[in-house]
Chain A
Amino acid sequence: MKRYLSLVLAMLMIVFALTGCSSNSQSSPAPTSAPAQQPAAEAPAQQPVAEPTEAPAPELDWPKQVINFVICYAAGGSQDVSFRAMLPKLEEELGVHCIVTNAEGGNTTIGIEQYNTPEYADGYTFILVNSASISANQATGLSDYDYTSMDMVGVYAKYPGEFLVVRADAPYDTIDEFIEYSNAQSTPLKMGIAAGGAIYVASEMLKAAGANLVAIEAGGGGSRMTQVLGGHIDVTSVPYTTCKEYLESGELKALCTLMRERSAAATDIPTALECGIDVVQNTMYVCFAPKGTDPAICKKLNQAFAAIAEDQEIIDISMDMLGQMPYVLSVEDSIKEMAEQRDAYMALVDILQG
């Protein structure tokens, strides 16, 4: 009896120990040999927060502990997967363990509102989102803040795409034909969107460009694509990584991409701009720090992103998972890019919130 009791207790203790080092939406990409540092995100108070006003120290003593990267999307999404793949290189560059937390929901508002607080501005918490969500949320009224509510670390990769996809048997092959066809219909064509998000804005941009469309809520990328396949909706915009297998198998076709430049992995798909349609959604993956984080830390992390972008392994990961070459902008350029995108989205604010 006692023997079994101790056995059960021992098993429980193993589980205890294991859960101690990781948890549901978190995972430490390094072997779980250093579990003691886990509560990084929970106990920032122990870490003296560097005053931003201080004279810049000659040598920035950062990082010293586990860094928590908060991805504002669900585990398994393209930003999550690609970032996790890049993480080992980034850890090598920074010399500390990093963990990833997924705080999904509300098109990034949930993650941002939870982590963009002074208690997390400790230099060990960063927030990863895509640029379109931030601007689109503001333009659609989902949020009342823009990118300036957080401190910029930088654009660290290009989004895999914004490809307008339709079923292969659809009677149009280009964006022009699509717009023409839509105008010949008595009921508008259905464009699947994720509410409030960038795709909603894209649908409004397409309408402004003359398409006879109606936006219908259809959930996340995977869900939208299945609904196009099943004929529940006519068109949607998805990342290249989501649709590439279907483009290859010939079940879907891509009309165009809304990015400013053609995607490195799909050079045969034109941009909307090239087709004479003035619709651009140049979405980027951006890393932010909670407001009040030491700018020197942001800069150092930005440089770390830039440094690993040269690495062949990162190039391979980027091409493989995002269909893009690595793309990193400096802190200043990132701010410029974000400002441009915000203005483009905010230009539509009357339509979006009307």
Chain B
Amino acid sequence: MIDYSVALQGVYSVIREPLLILLIFAGVAMGIMFGAVPGLTSSMAITMCLPLTYGMSQTQGMALLVALYVGGMSGGLIASILLNIPGTPSAVSTCFDGHPMAASGKAYRALGIGILCSFIGTVFGLICLFFIAPLLAKVAIEFGPFEYCAIAIFSLSLVISLTGKDIIKGFISVFLGMLFGTVGLAPIDAAKRFTFGQTQMNDGLKLISILIGLYALTEILKVAEAVRRPQKVIVQEVRMRGFGFSLKEFRSQMFNILSSCVIGTGVGILPGLGGGTAGMLAYTFVKNRSKYPEKFGTGIPDGIVASEASNNAVIGGAMIPLLTLGIPGDGATAILLGGLMLHSISPGPLIFTKNGAVVYGIYTAIFIAAFAMLVIEYFGMRVFVKLLNIPKNLLFPIIITMSFIGAFCISNRIFDIWVVFFFGIVGYLMSKWGFPKPPMVLGFILGSTFESNLRRASQHMALDPSVILTRPIALVFIVITVLILTISILNMRKKKQTEE
């Protein structure tokens, strides 16, 4: 149970140092910057700053690292909303409604909603972390190969139905994404696939370069296409008070916020799924149960709420396996794990008894970081929106350069920049031919999870085929998947018939 005296000690260890709070604010600001620039991610920011924590105390070091994590997770929304280019993989789904809203002159409102929901999501995840971390860790342990395999199928089929109009195109897109995910050495037997004899291909394609290609480069090509036409200047509505949310509207979004937070935290505790998956799942969930699903994608608050609340709730979720099991969920938490160990904090079941004060110090730091993010982004909005006033012929070359630097930095090789070019062309053709891009991104993210767990599960099945009957969680996910797919195919047919 929670030992409140240790918890207080941890809280106190953070708030007694004004310098530490300043450090958290600086960390969040830097994280936001990394999150906002396409190609630079929070894991890069954390890797860069990890060595700086060598000379710091446990609490200082960890506070700086989680501040970067929180800032980086949230910063992605800025580029998504203003430029239609996701700043991070987590912010892909923020583009869906965030950008249309900004394009209709309500950039402040879109940013305001995104920022507020980011804050709520982070705090929700933190509350789960604080009160039920050991319980959720037990849930995470229950997930074996069957469950991961089932949840990957479930997520992928949801995303196919997400892009709605043409389920065939959605399916092709997911399939291509998964196919691109197989490039390189196979997860289990290390067979070389699609490497064409190039050693550089052994390492596979990287999510970041695909994301930059599909979104940033495609967006730039589209702008270039329209370069001779007069640029449309979007007149932004004057800035309103608060976050662009009336209290009444906020109340009507209450359910969306809560369910997105739960989805985000749930995805967070399962290592390897990540913020991008959380955002898209929450978006699909909110859309499917909405009374007006046809309005999604046109710039309604619901879409931004779902995406931003869930991807930030991932933070709290991902900290659970990290702290209580010592298992990182993604690139950023892997480096946080290194940070913990560097500061002689051993994650595991005994972390609360051994390093309780530091753990609560980390919680406090996350809370302050969430608050810092709210403040910095709220007051930064005015500056962010000015991005829209910069002529695109000046802005986009800068963005593309930054993106290429980001791609290069993945593993310091030019190869990844060629990958960006390739996916720029793929993305451009996909937009021209009406193929949705998010399924491809998710297919790529979940493809390897699906494959390795499918192969593991089949090894288990080879021993004893009835073992699958003992995995109720996996079965439930598969049944839901079949139901969702059947319903969406039926709906599509009905729609076609009524149209005819």
CB pair A249 B350 closer than 8 Å = yes
Q: Is B409 an interface residue (CB 8 A)?
A: yes
Q: Which residue of B lies closest to A227 (CB)?
A: B144
CB pair A110 B189 closer than 8 Å = no
CA distance A239 to B206 in the complex (A): 29
CB pair B47 A23 closer than 8 Å = yes
- Give B344 Cβ to nearest chain A Cβ, in Å: 6
Most buried by A among B47, B331, B389, B405: B47
Give 1 or 0 for each of A190-206: 1 = CB within 8 Å of chain B CB.
10000110000000000
CA distance A31 to B50 in the complex (A): 10
Q: Is A19 an interface residue (CB 8 A)?
A: yes
Q: Which residue of A lies closest to B387 (CB)?
A: A8
- Which residues of the partner chain B approach A321 to less than 8 Å between Cβ atoms? 341
Known: A23-B44, A80-B338. A29 touches B460 (CB 8 A): no
Q: Which of A98-106, A301-309, A331-339 contacts B (4 or more CB under 8 A)?
A: A98-106
- Which residues of the partner chain B approach A245 to less than 8 Å between Cβ atoms? 326, 346-351
Known: A76-B337, A230-B143, A245-B349. A29 touches B54 (CB 8 A): yes
Q: Chain A: interface secondary structure?
A: helix
Give 1 or 0 for each of A239-265: 1 = CB within 8 Å of chain B CB.
001101110110100000000000000
CA distance A105 to B184 in the complex (A): 10
- Which residues of the partner chain A approach B412 to less than 8 Å between Cβ atoms? 23, 26, 41-42, 101
CB pair A246 B338 closer than 8 Å = no
Q: Is B233 an interface residue (CB 8 A)?
A: no
* Number of CB contacts from chain A to chain B under 8 A: 179
- Which residues of the partner chain A approach B188 to less than 8 Å between Cβ atoms? 195, 217
Q: Is B455 an interface residue (CB 8 A)?
A: yes
Most buried by A among B51, B350, B402, B459: B51
Q: Is B464 an interface residue (CB 8 A)?
A: yes
- Which residues of the partner chain A approach B61 to less than 8 Å between Cβ atoms? none
CB pair B202 A251 closer than 8 Å = no
CB pair A8 B452 closer than 8 Å = no
CB pair A217 B338 closer than 8 Å = no
- Which residues of the partner chain B approach A12 to less than 8 Å between Cβ atoms? 37, 398, 402
CB pair A217 B410 closer than 8 Å = no
Known: A1-B389, A8-B387, A222-B326. A244 touches B203 (CB 8 A): no
CB pair B33 A11 closer than 8 Å = yes
Contact of B141 among A9, A32, A195, A229 (CB under 8 A): A229
Q: Is B199 an interface residue (CB 8 A)?
A: yes
Q: Which residue of B lies closest to A106 (CB)?
A: B185
CB pair B51 A27 closer than 8 Å = yes
- Which residues of the partner chain B approach A190 to less than 8 Å between Cβ atoms? 460, 463
- Which residues of the partner chain A approach B406 to less than 8 Å between Cβ atoms? 19
CB pair B409 A114 closer than 8 Å = no
CA distance A141 to B76 in the complex (A): 43
Known: A42-B412, A74-B334, A75-B47. A142 touches B190 (CB 8 A): yes
Seed contacts A19-B405, A31-B51; 12 additional CB < 8 Å A-B pairs: A24-B331, A32-B51, A76-B335, A84-B342, A109-B202, A110-B203, A113-B202, A114-B203, A217-B455, A232-B145, A245-B347, A245-B351
